[in-house]
Amino acid sequence: MPSSRCERDFFMTDQDQPNTQEHHEEITRLVSVARTDGQPEKRTDGRSAPRFAVGMRLDVTTDPDVEQCAWPATMHNISDSGFAFWSRRQLRNGGEIWVREFSGDNSSPWLPAHVTHCTVGIKGYLVGAAFDVADQAV
């Protein structure tokens, strides 16, 4: 049973997954935008992929099928494998989320991810997440 009407009560199965190729293409596009418009982070902390700091506007949701469940957030950084963003909502570690670049017309695809950390900070909560896409090179 979901804890609110905006949380799904199941984990996505392969049948539920939208086009994984579309996800990879969108992640590649977002990283490219961040590489161009943002700055590389100097700290790597042992990460396998470089992260780029960028203040991109996002939509975040716990249920992409219910438009009213989405809320605005601001990207903190992004890499091929994950991202961090500032949120006014606290999220639980391991929780499923979907994120997309804010477009005004909701045309950007939702990208599935799971929360890896959520830390309170000056701008709300700094949420780290890993993209949930099939293993293939981005």
pLDDT-based confidence at residue 49 (cuts at 50, 70, 90)? confident
d(CA 72, CA 48): 28
Could you tell me the CATH number of the domain that includes residue 121? 2.40.10.220
Backbone angles phi, psi at 99, to 5 degrees: -135, 150
Residues 6+ apart with CB under 8 A from 27: 80, 111, 131, 133, 138
Which stretches within the chain are classed as H helix? 20-37
30 inside domain: yes
Helix (H, G, I), strand (E, B) or coil at 93: coil
71 Cβ contact list (under 8 Å, min separation 6): 59, 60, 61, 87, 88, 89
**Per-residue pLDDT tens for 119-135?**
999 889 999 999 997 55
Query: Residue 71 has what pLDDT?
Result: 96
- Asked, for residue 32, whether it belongs to a domain, the answer is yes
pTM of the model: 0.81
Residue 67 is assigned to a structural domain of this protein: yes
**Is the confidence at residue 110, as pLDDT, over 70?**
yes
| pLDDT reading at 93 higher than 60 | yes
pLDDT at 138: 42
Please identify which residue in the block is written with the tokens 């830390």: 119
How confident is the prediction for the chain on average, in pLDDT? Answer: 83
Confirm whether 46 is domain-assigned: no
Instruction: Domain of residue 80: give its range.
Output: 20-41+51-131
pLDDT at 122: 87
Whether residue 3 is contained in a domain is answered as no
pLDDT given for residue 76 in this prediction: 93
